[in-house]
Structure 1
Amino acid sequence: MTDDASTPTTPATPAPESITTIACVGIGTIGGGWAAYFLARGYRVQAWDPSPEAGNRVRRLIDAAWPALTQLGLSENADPENISVHTDLAEALDGAQFVQESAPEVLEMKQQLLADIDAHAADGVVIASSTSGYSMTEMAVQAANPERLVVGHPFNPPYLIPLVEVVGGEATDPAAVQWASQWYEHLGKSVITMDREVPGFIANRLQEALWREALHMVDNGEATVEQIDRSITDGPGLRWPLQGPMLTFHLAGGPGGMAHMLDHFGPSLKSPWTRLEAPELTDELRESVVAGCDEEAAGRSVPDLVAERDRAIIAVRQVIDQLRRDAA
């Protein structure tokens, strides 16, 4: 963890380098992944979840994530046991210097929970939501102090994927957004600080477009689940880890770059290739997609596939990190 003396603070807002204790509110797949990541970075985690099985569930999540986190590199004080699980929200928030909320995507639940967190968290503590779809403007309506509420939207699994999209609501203090961005960077995350609220954020919207077209292709018998996956993993997916879709098309324009690309291929944008409206999720389409995934999995269990995914992500990240170091 690095010291950043330029981090904006108020008298009640702790500097990122001084934080020792984090509250994770909601410890399902995303919240549990966050908890594992915070533990690996050397923090104390106080977790809250109303489920009586939450403790066992988060323990399994941490145990599953720890080998990958170890391979990526643990902080000096990393300890997978440095976590407590609470059913009393006030207890989980007591002493917490940052809050990551990761409750289910139910708007009324988020509104009430964020208001409750705001009521119990210490003054000045920034509260971030992992929401993948709601804006902070619509979630913060019941909170007494909405100025400290921000979105810190991770990509799954948050213990491996570095991306976090940060944005505030209409009532959020810009200083809280700036603080949150610098906090996530302090943690080692790759942060996009959004200038404005966008439904679905950035990465989800791009992923959703691809997902919808894939469903149309299955629904129309144009491609199988395995063909769709291979078209990405052995095609454009190999270009995207280092250079995203925009820079990829820039290179496709040759010496003329993106300007040539747009001038030459711009007319084809009007070709009716893609269908961004979602297809009707019929029973037949559902069964086709499920069966296709089972066929592609070829007997590998979900834990088997998770372990395979984690190994691949780590390998890709390590290669990219080395390429960037060589280029520096």
Structure 2
Amino acid sequence: MSQQLSVIGTGVIGNGWIARALARGWDVVAFDPDPEAPRRTRAFVENAWESLTRQGLAEGASPERLRFAESLEAAVEGADLIQENVPERLSLKREILTALDAAANPDILIGSSTSGFKPSDLQQDCTRAPGRVIVAHPFNPVYLLPLVELVGGDATTPEEITRARDYYQALAMRPLVVRREIEGHIADRLMEALWREALHLVNDGVATTEEIDAAVIYGCGLRWSLMGTFLTFHLAGGEPGMRHMLEQFGPALKLPWTKLEAPELTTQLIDRVVEGCEHQAAGRSVAELDRRRDEFLVELLGLAQKYWPEAEGLEGRI
């Protein structure tokens, strides 16, 4: 029996969910009030389909299993899972999630793709079944990257989180259940710290955007795709491991190397960042760069999956 994902909001993230679900053989019903949304979504899926095909499609997978509904209420009819992806404004998300809570069968889970808001804040105006409204935060490109952060709110039960894990695993994702609510969840807080430091380096004239990206691409980024931060530093301690690393390098954490607050986004800094990125893009369109990134990720995922644990979620040792 086929499953249906209902997608509300079809920007980059919403379209990424659509492409992933179609590739897994799901039916997808989407809603977006923008009249141009169907055209943009179908172009997005077409651009992603080659990479998804190389990665491996589920039986019955087809872009033809996508349709657009004329209203939010019609979009959630028959849904097995609902994914909300409207712009990152708390008032707007509450409005849409409240409407979804009123329209959808009360046992249907509603995942929000929010990168920063806490689920208890999102559930606040939902009165029918607020616990089923959770954070289900993916990473771009959603159709290739498997991580999804799952966060329950005050009204969410452990059983609802368990059901959510099952659904997202059925979409070939690796759910990470966040132990407690916090703004920005886990991964985005880490990425924001690196992003702030990178902006300082550009602002202070230490490096260009290209040089900073090179530092990640040819250095730490390669290690992080397998081991992440902590296990990487564990190896840096040699045979004694993390304890020795902390004894040797821990004092350096007190040195004023980093700048915790983001720099002021002055016109000069914005120009430097924009000009640097345009130089790196070298005239290539975003669609071209998307395809280049996707081709790389498909090959990288094929390699990385040989070394990842077999655990269904993220409970195993990485």
TM-score, with length taken from structure 2: 0.95
Contact 1:209 1:276 in 2 (8 A): yes
Matching residue's letter, 1:233: I
Counterpart of 1:126 in structure 2 is 109
In structure 2, what is the equivalent of residue 75 of structure 1? 58
Which residue does 1:268 correspond to in 2? 252
User: Would you say the 8 A contact 1:150–1:169 is kept in 2?
Assistant: yes
Over aligned residue pairs, what C-alpha RMSD do you find?
1.5
2:26 alignment partner in structure 1: 43
- The aligned counterpart of 2:152 is 168
The counterpart of 2:214, out of the listed 223, 230, 243, is 230
Task: Give CA-to-partner distance per residue, 1:135-157, whole Å, 9 cap, x none.
Answer: 11111111112111111100111
Which contiguous aligned blocks of 4+ residues in structure 1 show a shift greater than 2 angstroms?
322-326
The answer as to 2:70 corresponding to 1:87 is yes
Q: Is the 8 A contact 2:2 2:27 kept in 1?
A: no
Counterparts in 2 of 1:34 and 1:103: CA distance versus 1, 3 Å: same
1:279 corresponds to which of 263, 269, 278: 263
**What is the one-letter code of the residue matched to 2:115?**
S
Q: Deviations over 1:148-197 (max 9, x none)?
A: 11111001110011100001111112211111012212221111111101
Show the 5 A alignment for 1:296-315.
Answer: 296-315=280-299
Mark the CA change 1:19 to 1:165 in structure 2 (over 3 Å): closer, same or farther. Answer: farther
Which string of whole-angstrom CA distances, capped at 9 and with x for unpartnered residues, describes residues 30-58 of structure 1? 00110111011011111011111111111
In structure 2, how many angstroms separate the alpha carbons of the residues matched to 1:47 and 1:19? 16
Tell me, in whole angstroms, the C-alpha distance in 1 between the residues paired with 2:125 and 2:81. 20
Give 2:39's aligned amino acid: N
Partner of 1:10: none
Tell me if structure 2 keeps the 8 A contact 1:131–1:151.
yes
Tell me the equivalent position of 2:314: none
For structure 1, the 5+ residue unaligned runs are 1-17
Q: State the shift of 1:302 in Å.
A: 1.4
Q: Distance in 2 between matches of 1:97 and 1:233?
A: 39
Q: Distance in 1 between matches of 2:36 and 2:199?
A: 34
Amino acid aligned to 1:59: R
Report how far residue 324 of structure 1 moved.
Answer: 4.5
Q: Does the CA-based 8 Å contact 2:81-2:167 persist in structure 1?
A: no
Q: Distance in 2 between matches of 1:215 and 1:102?
A: 27
Aligned residues: 310
CA distance in structure 1 between the aligned counterparts of 2:201 and 2:117, rounded to whole angstroms: 28
Name the amino acid aligned to 2:245.
Answer: M
> Identity over aligned residues, as a percent?
47
Change (3 A) 1:30 1:324: closer
Which SS does the other structure have where 1:156 is aligned? Answer: coil
In structure 1, distance between residues paired with 2:106 and 2:267: 50
Corresponding residue SS for 2:166:
helix
